[in-house]
Amino acid sequence: MAKDNTLLVLKGEVEEACYKEKELSEYNENPFIEALPPIFDIDEVIDKFTVSPPINDEDRNKATNIRYHVIKRLKNFVQPLPIHFTIETRLSTLIRRGYLARNPMDATYLKRIRILNELRTSDQVGLIDIEEKMSYMRSTADSMAIIGISGIGKTTAIERLLLMYPQVIKHKEYKGESFTRTQLVWLKIDCPYDGSLATLCKSFFKAIDDVLGTRYLEKYGYANRVTSSMMLHMTTLTSIYGIGILVIGSCQPTCRIKDI
Residue 136 lies in a domain: yes
Mean pLDDT is lowest, of 28-42, 48-62, 221-235, for 221-235
Number of domains in the chain: 1
**pLDDT reading at 122 higher than 90:** no
The whole-number pLDDT of residue 130 equals 60
Residue 227 lies in a domain: yes
- Residues spanned by the domain of 226: 9-40+82-259
DSSP H stretches of helix in 24-139: 31-34, 42-49, 57-60, 64-71, 82-99, 107-120, 127-134
Residue 66 lies in a domain: no
Q: Per-residue pLDDT averaged across 232-238, rounded?
A: 88
Residue 57 lies in a domain: no
**pLDDT reading at 1 higher than 50:** no
Residue 120 lies in a domain: yes
Q: Could you tell me if 51 and 78 are in contact, meaning their C-beta atoms sit under 8 angstroms apart?
A: yes
Residue 242 lies in a domain: yes
Residue 60 lies in a domain: no
Coil, helix or strand for 181? strand
Residue 48 lies in a domain: no
Mean pLDDT is lowest, of 86-90, 163-167, 204-208, 245-249, for 245-249
Task: Quote the CA–CA distance of 169 and 181 in Å, as a whole number.
Answer: 8
**pLDDT reading at 4 higher than 50:** no
Task: Quote the CA–CA distance of 68 and 45 in Å, as a whole number.
Answer: 31
Burial of 65 (0-12, 13-18, 19+ CB in 10 A): exposed
Task: Quote the CA–CA distance of 196 and 229 in Å, as a whole number.
Answer: 14
